[in-house]
Amino acid sequence: MTGTGNVVLGIETSCDETAAAVVAGGRQVRSSVVSSQVDLHARFGGVVPEIASRAHVELLVPVVAEALVESGVEGPDVDAVAATYGPGLVGSLLVGLAGAKAMALVWDVPFVAVNHLEGHLYSAFLEDPTLEPPLVALLVSGGHTMLVFMEDYGRYRVLGSTVDDAAGEAFDKVARYLGLGYPGGPAIDRLAITGDPAAVDFPRAMLDAGYDFSFSGLKTAVVTYVRAHPDVPTEDVAASFQQAVVDVLVAKTRRAARETGVPTVCLGGGVAANSALREHFLDACTTDGLAGFLPSRSMCTDNAAMVAAAGWWRLQADGPSPLDTGAEPNLRLPVV
Ligand code: KG4
Ligand code: ZN
């Protein structure tokens, strides 16, 4: 369907994943390729911005080529090219943006600048054609933790967000302290399966106070507890920490659904790949009679299919973005 903006090539390079995807109509994923740089950064215990930018330069063209081949769509048959312009690491963002603009120019199709956070919100839409706003979305990633009331496509209200660490950041810091390596979320998730989530009663900060979150005290509580109890099994600490995070996330999402009166809730962002969060979220939806939508794990963590999806909706709403759109490292979710 050339010329309708139907087939969007998405590009995502905001952090340490180089990703490209082809998505039709904002929902049908034709291909989604993610090249993780995790091995390059692991020995530093976190993402090194300069290494990330250089790796994006090397990986962008092969990743885009693979996404096109897998989708069966030829480059010139793409109807629009969407790329993340923020938030994220400025050097990394610039690589994806420059590549996307060049491709849009060569193929003479619209370029669309996408907000990475909006991308995470659209990941749930990719996998269920029945999902429609209004809804409440819990967006939990390495850089952000927020509860969003999505009134309609492109119309958001942020109900609450973290006052200190993001949920993923807490997973990464606690994992690092426990010697579980980087990235910490998946490591804690795996280890917690063998631990007792009730072994240590870690604090549930701000549980009854509005929609904001705080995770930095929990991280300190873990460190203090392990210092005082050096023989505690690491799997029990991991499971108990994880349970404390999940309890707060699920409780606030339920309350947001109840107080806004929406029947639909969804998850997005890397932490939404967490097994315990997924299980407790779905249990809560069943108990409360809510329709709960969970993107598959690969669509929770950074990917370009969500960027293509959000780009498609943005193109319908606002048309193409100017080619002089720059990288915006501190970009926020646009709110009404
Ligand atoms: O959305 P994402 O891929 O990148 C950002 O936009 O930040 O999220 C990455 C974060 C990291 O902090 C990582 O530890 C966390 O998501 N994460 C997880 C899991 N998988 C990734 N946290 C808990 N459990 C997981 N299974
Ligand atoms: Zn992300």
List, as own/partner pairs, every contact residues 145-153 make where C-beta atoms lie below 8 angstroms and the sequence separation is at least 24, other chains included.
145/213, 145/215, 145/249, 145/269, 145/271, 146/117, 146/333, 147/211, 147/252, 147/253, 147/256, 148/121, 148/333, 149/256, 149/260, 149/262, 150/121, 151/336, 153/313, 153/317
Helical H segments across the chain, by residue range: 38-42, 49-71, 90-107, 116-126, 167-177, 184-192, 216-228, 234-260, 275-288, 297-300, 305-318
Q: Do 84 and 168 have their domain in common?
A: no
Question: What is the per-residue pLDDT for 182?
Answer: 86
List the domain range (segments joined by +) for residue 250.
133-294
Note the pLDDT tens digit of each residue in 294-317: 999 999 999 999 999 999 999 999
Supply the CATH number for residue 36's domain.
3.30.420.40
Query: DSSP label at 213?
Result: B
Retrieve residue 169's tokens.
């950041």
The pLDDT-based confidence of 3 (bands split at 50, 70, 90) is very low
The pLDDT-based confidence of 2 (bands split at 50, 70, 90) is very low
Q: Do 283 and 175 have their domain in common?
A: yes
Average pLDDT over residues 281-285: 98
* Ion ligand 2 contact residues with beta carbon within 5 A: 141, 302
Q: For a pLDDT cut of 90, what percent of the chain falls above it?
A: 91
Average pLDDT over residues 50-68: 97
Q: Do 109 and 238 have their domain in common?
A: no
Question: What is the per-residue pLDDT for 5?
Answer: 59
Q: Do 267 and 308 have their domain in common?
A: no
Question: What is the per-residue pLDDT for 42?
Answer: 84
Q: Given ligand 1 and candidates 141, 165, 215, 242, which is best to mutate, with the most ligand atoms within 8 Å of its CB?
A: 141
**Residue 271 CB less than 6 A away from ligand 1:** yes
Looking at ligand 1, which atom is closest to the CA of residue 302? 3
**Residue 143 CB less than 6 A away from ligand 1:** yes
The residue count for the chain: 336
The verdict on residue 267 lying in a domain is yes
Q: Given ligand 1 and candidates 17, 37, 271, which is best to mutate, with the most ligand atoms within 8 Å of its CB?
A: 271
CA 124 from chain center: how many Å?
11
Q: Do 71 and 178 have their domain in common?
A: no
Ligand 2 center to residue 142 CA distance, Å? 7
Q: Do 35 and 96 have their domain in common?
A: yes
On the question of pLDDT at 1 being above 50, the answer is no
The verdict on residue 332 lying in a domain is no
The verdict on residue 182 lying in a domain is yes
Q: Do 154 and 78 have their domain in common?
A: no
Ligand 1 center to residue 167 CA distance, Å? 8
Q: Do 154 and 285 have their domain in common?
A: yes
Q: Do 118 and 172 have their domain in common?
A: no
Closest among 238, 170, 244 to 203, alpha carbons compared: 244
Contact 133, 316 (CB under 8 A): no
- Strand order of the sheet with strand 80-86? 28-36, 17-24, 7-12, 80-86, 111-115
Note the pLDDT tens digit of each residue in 178-228: 999 888 999 999 999 999 999 999 999 999 889 999 999 999 999 999 999
Ligand number nearest to the C-alpha of 269: 1
Note the pLDDT tens digit of each residue in 83-122: 999 999 999 999 999 999 999 999 999 999 999 999 999 9
The verdict on residue 330 lying in a domain is no
Q: How many domains does the chain have?
A: 2
**Residue 197 CB less than 6 A away from ligand 1:** no
Q: How far from 5 is each of 1, 2, 104, 194, 241, CA to CA, in Å?
A: 8, 7, 12, 48, 45
Rounded Cα gap, residues 150 and 158, in angstroms:
9
In the block, residue with structure tokens 């600048």: 113
Rounded Cα gap, residues 157 and 297, in angstroms:
25
Average pLDDT over residues 254-275: 97
**Residue 242 CB less than 6 A away from ligand 1:** no
The verdict on residue 156 lying in a domain is yes
The verdict on residue 2 lying in a domain is no
Question: What is the per-residue pLDDT for 123?
Answer: 95
